[in-house]
Structure 1
C-alpha cells in the first residue's frame, strides 16, 4: 500500500535528518543545497535574507510533530531565532517573507502557541502587507526598480496574510491576499492552464505591461515549478477562503501539469514548453504533489482519485529515481533545478525540494501539520 511505502520512506528520512544534524557544526547552520553529499554553505552567514531560509526549519518541525524529538525542536527554534537578523537587515526582504516565516515562526506558533513565534509571524505578515499596491491590487514581489513585478511564487507567500487575518480577525489581510490572487488569476494563468512566471504591471495604474520568462525557458513558456506554485497556492487559497474560483484555477493548472508529466515518467521537466533535451526538476514535482493532495482533500469523492493517484505516482517515481536516503550523506533529492538557464543549478539538491517531499510523505499518511 502507498501508506506503507510512505511511512517506510519517512522513517528513513527521519533517521537521515538526525544524522545530518549530528554532522552539522554548529547546529545553527541553515542549509540551501547539499554539495557532494554535504551541507557546506551556511545561508545564515552568506545571506540571512535568502528566500529559502525557512524551509530547513519547516522540515524539522514537520518531522518533530511526526515523532517528537528534542534535537529537531531545538534546532528548528534556533533557525527561527536566526531569522531575527533578517528583520534587522530588512533591505534584503521582499515577498518571500511567507516562505521564510510560515515554516518557522508560524509553524512554531501552531504547535506550541509560543508568543515570540506569534509576534515574529505578525511582523512578517505586516512586512508583506506593506508591499500591497492598491491601484494594481497586487503585492509587489521584488525590490529595487521592480515596483510592478509580480511572480507566480507569490501565491504561496500570500498564505501568511490568510493566517494573519485568521488570528487577528482583521479582514484587511485577507482582502489584500484575495485581491492579489485575483490579479494573478487574470494575468498569470493562461486559458490552457499554463502559467507565466513574471508579469510586469504599471505600478500607477495596475495595467499589465508585459510578461517575462523568468526562471523558465523564455517568454510564453511554462516553467514547471511555477506551475507547481500555482497549483498549491490556489488550492491553499481555497482552503482558507472556500472561494470556488480558487479551486477551479488550481484544478485547471493541475490538469495542464498532469498532461505534461505522463510522458516523462511523472517527473516534470524544467519547462513544459522547453527543448526536449532539457533536464528535470524534482522540486517542482514534490511541490506539485503537495498541491494535488490539497486539491484531493477539497473535491468530491468522484474527483479525488485523479489528483491523489497522480501525487502518489510523482512522489514514488521521484524517490526511486532521485532519492538518497543514506544516513551518511546530506540532502534527500537530487534532480532539482534552480532555473532553466542557471548552469550551476542543474540536477542539484535543494532544501525546498526536500521539504515538500517530506510534507508530501506526511500527507500520504495523514500526519502533516498545516504550515501554509
Structure 2
C-alpha cells in the first residue's frame, strides 16, 4: 500500500513542478485552480486566511524532492504574506494558518533568522486577539467581537511554537485557556463540534451558537469536525494533557462513522441525502488528524481510517490531467455557496492531501510544530 502513496507523491510533485511555475510568473498566491490556471483568493487579497497553504505545500514538496524550485517558490509567497503585516486590519485569528506554514516552515527547515522573527511577529498578533474572558477572537467586525470558531484550534499551533522558541510560557498558557473554552463550549455529547460560538466579550458567558459554513444550525459541517479532530489531537501533543487527546478521539469516532463507502466526505454530515455535496478538504484534514491520534495512542485503527480517506480521494478525486493546475477535486468551501468555491480544486485541499501522504510514507516534516 505504501508504494501507492509514494507513487502519488511523486506524481503530485511532478505536476506541481510544472504548474507552480505559472503562479510564480503571475506573481500570485494561488487559492484554487480552474480552466487550467491558478486563481487568487476570493476576498481580502493576500490577507485571505488560506495564503499560508501554498508556501506550506511548496515546503512539503521541497522536503520530498530536494528541488530548490519549491523552496524558491515558498519564499516568494512568504514575502507576499509578510508584506500583509503592514495592512494589519485585514489579519485575524488565521495568522496561524498564514504564517506557521510559511515563515514558520522556513525557520524550522532552514533556520532562517528573519523567518523566525516573522513567525514570532505573527504569534504576537494572535496573542493580541486573546480576550481574557477566555477565548481568542475570530474576526474583526464590530458585531463579531464575541465570536470564536472551531478552526482556531489549528491556529493555536503558532502559540505552542512561540512558547517553545522563546521559552516563554505565556503563549502556551493562552492557547490552553482557549482550548479549554473550546472543549467546554464546542464539543457536543455525540462527539460532533459546533462551528461558531458567540460569547459575551465582557463576561465570557456563552450567548448562542451560529450555523456558520454548515447545512444548518446544530448540524455537523464536516470540515469543522476535521478542524476539531486535528486541533485537539495537536493540543494533546503540545499541552500534554490527556483530556485533549480524549476529545480528539471522541470527534474522530463521530467523523469516521460518517465516512462514505467510497471513502469521500460529505460537506455536512446532516445534509439531506438527496443533496450530494462533497468536501474532500475535510477528509484530507481528518486523515492528518487521525494519523496524529494513531501516533499518540498507538491505536492502529486511526491510521486505517486515515488510509480509507486517502484511498477514496486518490481513487475517485485525484486529477492528474491538464484541466486543473492542482490535484484534489470536489472540494467545497461552504455548504451554502459563499463565493469561495464549490465542487472544485482548492489549494488547501492539496496541502492536506500531501501532508496526509507524507505522514503515511514516514516523511512528514511536521510543520504544525
* Paired position in structure 2 for 1:230: 228
Partner of 2:64: 66
Q: Deviations over 1:60-105 (max 9, x none)?
A: 0001011111111111011111112210111100000000001100
Q: Which residue of 1 is the match for residue 362 of structure 2?
A: 366
Report what 1:296 is aligned to.
Answer: 294
Could you give the per-residue CA deviations for residues 248-291 of structure 1, whole angstroms, max 9, x where no partner exists? 00000000001111x44221101111211231100000000000
Distance in structure 2 (CA, Å) of the matches to 1:284 and 1:44: 20
Corresponding residue number in structure 2 for 1:246:
244
Contact 1:155 1:234 in 2 (8 A): yes
Aligned to 1:282: 280
Tell me, in whole angstroms, the C-alpha distance in 1 between the residues paired with 2:93 and 2:325.
29
CA contact (8 A) 1:238 1:246 kept: yes
Counterpart of 2:333 (choices 334, 338, 362) is 338
The residue correspondences of 1:86-105 to structure 2 (distance < 5 A) are 86-105=84-103
- Are the aligned partners of 1:21 and 1:27 in contact in 2 as well (CA < 8 Å)? no
CA contact (8 A) 1:19 1:327 kept: no
Hey, what's the Cα distance between the residues in 2 that align with 1:277 and 1:196? 24
Aligned partners of 1:176 and 1:251: how far apart in 2? Answer: 23
* Residue 196 of structure 1: aligned partner: 194
**Counterparts of 1:170 and 1:132 in 2: how far apart (Å)?**
16
Q: Out of 249, 255, 270, which is 2:267 matched to?
A: 270
* Cα distance change of structure 1 residues 327 and 365 upon mapping to structure 2, 3 Å threshold: farther
Q: Deviation per CA, 1:13-36, whole angstroms, max 9, x where unpaired?
A: 000010112333526321001112
Q: Contact between 1:59 and 1:358, CA under 8 Å: does it hold in 2?
A: yes
Match of 1:317 among 312, 318, 325: 312
Residue in structure 2 matched with residue 347 of structure 1 by the alignment:
343
Give yes or no for contact 1:20–1:329 (8 Å, CA) kept in 2: no
Gaps of 5+ in 1: none
The worse-fitting range, judged by mean Cα deviation, of 166-175 and 17-26 is 17-26
**TM-score, normalising length from structure 1?**
0.95
For the pair 1:217 / 2:212, whether they are aligned, the reply is no
Contact 1:48 1:83 in 2 (8 A): yes
Whole-angstrom distance in 1 between the partners of 2:78 and 2:23: 17
Counterparts of 1:327 and 1:348, CA distance in 2: 14
Structure 1 pair 46/186, CA: closer, same or farther in 2 (3 Å)?
closer
Q: The residue matched to 1:20 in structure 2 has which SS?
A: helix
Q: TM-score, normalised by structure 2?
A: 0.96
Name the CA distance, whole Å, in 2 between partners of 1:25 and 1:163.
29
Residue 307 (str. 1) matches residue 302 (str. 2): yes
> Following TM superposition, by how much is the alpha carbon of 1:238 offset from its aligned partner in structure 2, in angstroms?
1.0
Contact 1:38 1:331 in 2 (8 A): no
C-alpha offsets along residues 46-73 of structure 1, whole Å, 9 cap, x if unaligned? 6010000010000000010111111111
Which residue is equivalent to 2:130? 132
SS at match of 2:175: helix
Cα contact 1:227–1:257 (8 A) shared by 2:
yes
Q: CA–CA distance in 2 between the matches of 1:233 and 1:37?
A: 33
Structure 2: distance between partners of 1:95 and 1:299 = 30
Unaligned runs of 5+ in 2: none
SS of the residue 2:258 aligns to: helix
**Kept in 1: contact 2:101–2:367 (CA 8 A):** yes
How many correspondences in the alignment? Answer: 365
Structure 1 partner of 2:3: 4
